[in-house]
Amino acid sequence: MSSLKRAQDEGLHTIQIEGLRKTYGSASPGDLHYIIKDVNLVVRSGEFFILLGPSGCGKSTLLNMIAGFVAKSGGKLTVGDAEVQRPGRDRAVVFQQADSSLFPWLTVRGNVEFGLRMGGMRKAERREVSDRYLGLVGLAGHGGKFPKELSGGMKQRVQLARVLAGDPAILLMDEPFGALDAMTRRTMQKELVRIWRETNKTVIFVTHDIQEALLLGQRIGIMSRGPSSNIAHIYDNPLPYPRDVAAPGFGELYNAIQGHFEEEEGEVDRL
């Protein structure tokens, strides 16, 4: 049994969030402006969880807090037994803009191997790992190219391969396909599901696209409109993988989630 699989079985990478809050600078305690407030959530090891919500509600803030990039203002946030206080090798983030995360002076292979080289891994082993992950993301044979020679979708695959090469237990994905054209996006969604099923990683995936949420996630956490946003409702998505928008049940779930947002909009309008 692999160490990741064993860790999952033992719940070592379960993410537990209780009463989590984030506020940005305020002069007096009575005047606190909460970005997120009282967020409660448990994400199980190996789960594919979606954070879905309108622009500006705090999805990236929450993801970055789990990553350890953004400090909490209150509440509890643990991975396994450990309180999250800083970034860790068990968690890695895939950003929307691959451009800003890839080193333009390194080849595709150089980018994928960068973290491994910094970690002191020997060349032959690095080569083995980068071959494996470039193959997994469909980039075998492109290792010698530079980022500027790649399409947007290919760059995003390199970013994913680099993150996977570090073998984090938890993948935190912040609208990773948001900048791609519709066809490439669909291909990447399918690839991600395939990779997730092959690697058993925990995925938390941020999107504001209901269709994307339904194609990917086992559970979909709906964030309320900010400020003081929290997870207002969680939808289970039991549809079998690989998924298709035409699958029975897809439309019903889509309508339920859309209805949820329309109701919330109505409440905002009535204020």
Ligand X SMILES: Nc1ncnc2c1ncn2[C@@H]1O[C@H](COP(=O)(O)OP(=O)(O)OP(=O)(O)O)[C@@H](O)[C@H]1O
Structure token digits, residue 220? 């979909």
Which is nearer to ligand X, 13 or 225 (by Cβ)? Answer: 225
Dist CA 17 CA 37 (whole Å): 11
The stretches of 26-122 forming alpha helices (DSSP H) are 59-67, 108-118
Minimum distance, C-beta of residue 98 to ligand X, in the bound complex (Å):
16
What is the x/- site pattern for ligand X, positions 149-188, by CB under 6 A?
Answer: ----------------------------------------
DSSP three-state, residue 83: strand
Which is nearer to ligand X, 14 or 156 (by Cβ)? Answer: 156
Which is nearer to ligand X, 53 or 143 (by Cβ)? Answer: 53
Dist CA 20 CA 40 (whole Å): 7
Nearest in space to 136 (alpha carbons), one of 94, 185, 196? 196
Minimum distance, C-beta of residue 58 to ligand X, in the bound complex (Å):
4
Q: Is 202 in the site for ligand X (CB under 6 A)?
A: no
Q: Where are the beta strands (DSSP E) in the chain?
A: 15-23, 34-43, 48-52, 74-79, 82-83, 91-94, 170-174, 202-207, 219-223, 231-236
Minimum distance, C-beta of residue 178 to ligand X, in the bound complex (Å):
9
Of 15-74, binders to ligand X (CB under 6 A) are 24, 35, 53, 55-61
Minimum distance, C-beta of residue 56 to ligand X, in the bound complex (Å):
4
Structure token digits, residue 204? 């938390």
DSSP three-state, residue 17: strand
What is the x/- site pattern for ligand X, positions 213-252, by CB under 6 A?
Answer: -------------x--------------------------
Minimum distance, C-beta of residue 52 to ligand X, in the bound complex (Å):
10
Q: Which residues bind ligand X (CB under 6 A)?
A: 24, 35, 53, 55-61, 208, 226
